[in-house]
Amino acid sequence: MAERGEIESYLNTLLAVDRFKDYGPNGLQVEGAAQCRRVVSGVTASLALIEAAAADGADTLLVHHGLFWRGQDGRLTGWLKARVEALIRHEINLFAFHLPLDAHAEFGNNAQLGRVLGLATDARFGEQALGFAAPAGALADLGALVAAVQAGLGRPPTVLPGDGRALRRIAWCSGGAQGGFEDAIAAGADAYLTGELSEPQAHLARETGVAFLACGHHATERYGAPALGAHLAERFGLEHRFIEIDNPA
Ligand SMILES: [Zn+2]
């Protein structure tokens, strides 16, 4: 058991939240019980996850995608009201860490995605150093890389194959980081993995020869929250469980 405030300051320091320019507030987003005993981690603070956490007896929910984002007008209506109401009714603390959780060198989404794919990070690149890169190692051809993604993430990526070169270096950035493709190319990548695909990447892959793999936004961001939750549980003697809410994205 631990005080909410103790958990809050530990997480804010561990994830260096002050160092990031982000699209929403990082840290405690909704205040619940003063004492934390049972943590549920998940990717997104959806109503389904909040209800599953409540059914699991959690007093603390730890997610990558919280409730509040730049551009919202601040009204607690509709789906947002329903989510906030469920958290408050069950006295669940909501901790959300967006870019700080992508970036963390051990528990972050990108560090954990590298672990799942068997890639040993040796460089960072791009905006706020969110991009990770590694020697291709055993994944030196595109077929092997696609197979590793399929096996590790449990779903086939959408592949823009580039020029068929041997892969020397692989770069990645979880979630909606398709805009980081050019930074990855500039950083020397022969293939770039992220969650999503937009229109420009197909042309860039053809014209630069660098392969692009869209592996799923949710699928690439499934590993940071449980790694952080497990660490928190060990550090403070809490119970922890990751709850997967299926998402085809
Ligand atoms: Zn995301």
Q: Residue 202 Cα, ligand 1 centroid: separation in angstroms?
A: 21
CB 122 within 8 A of CB 134: yes
CA–centroid distance, residue 155 to ligand 1 (Å): 18
Residue-wise pLDDT for 88-115, tens only, equals: 999 999 999 999 999 999 999 999 999 9
The number of CA neighbours under 13 Å toward the Cβ of 3 is 4
**Are residues 62 and 228 in contact, defined by beta-carbon separation less than 8 angstroms?**
yes
Question: Is residue 15 within 8 Å of 202, Cβ to Cβ?
Answer: no
Report how far ligand 1's centroid is from the alpha carbon of 81 (Å). 22
Q: Report the percent of the chain where pLDDT is more than 90.
A: 100
Cα of 16 from ligand 1 centre, angstroms:
18
pLDDT at residue number 159: 98
Residue with token string 């499934």: 222
Q: Using alpha carbons, select from 154, 174, 178 the residue that is nearest to residue 110.
A: 174
Structure tokens belonging to residue 140: 């030196």
- Residue 205 Cα to ligand 1 midpoint, Å, equals 23
- pTM of the prediction? 0.96
| Å from CA of 223 to ligand 1 middle | 12
Tell me how far CA of residue 60 lies from CA of 36, 40, 118, in angstroms.
6, 6, 31
CA of 34 to the centre of ligand 1 (A): 28
Ligand 1 geometric centre to CA of 241 (Å): 20
Element of type H or E holding 205: helix 200-208
Q: What confidence tens digit (pLDDT) does each residue in 41-52 have?
A: 999 999 999 999
For residue 23, give every residue at least 6 positions away whose Cβ sits within 8 Å of its Cβ, in sequence order, or none.
69, 70, 98
Mean pLDDT of 67-86: 96
Distance of CA 2 from the midpoint of ligand 1 (Å): 28
* Residue 146 Cα to chain centre, angstroms: 20
pLDDT of residue 219: 98
Distance 24 CA to ligand 1 centre (A): 12
Report how far residue 244's alpha carbon sits from residue 228's, in angstroms, rounded to the nearest whole number: 15
Residue 176 Cα to ligand 1 midpoint, Å, equals 6
pLDDT in tens, 180-194: 999 999 999 999 999
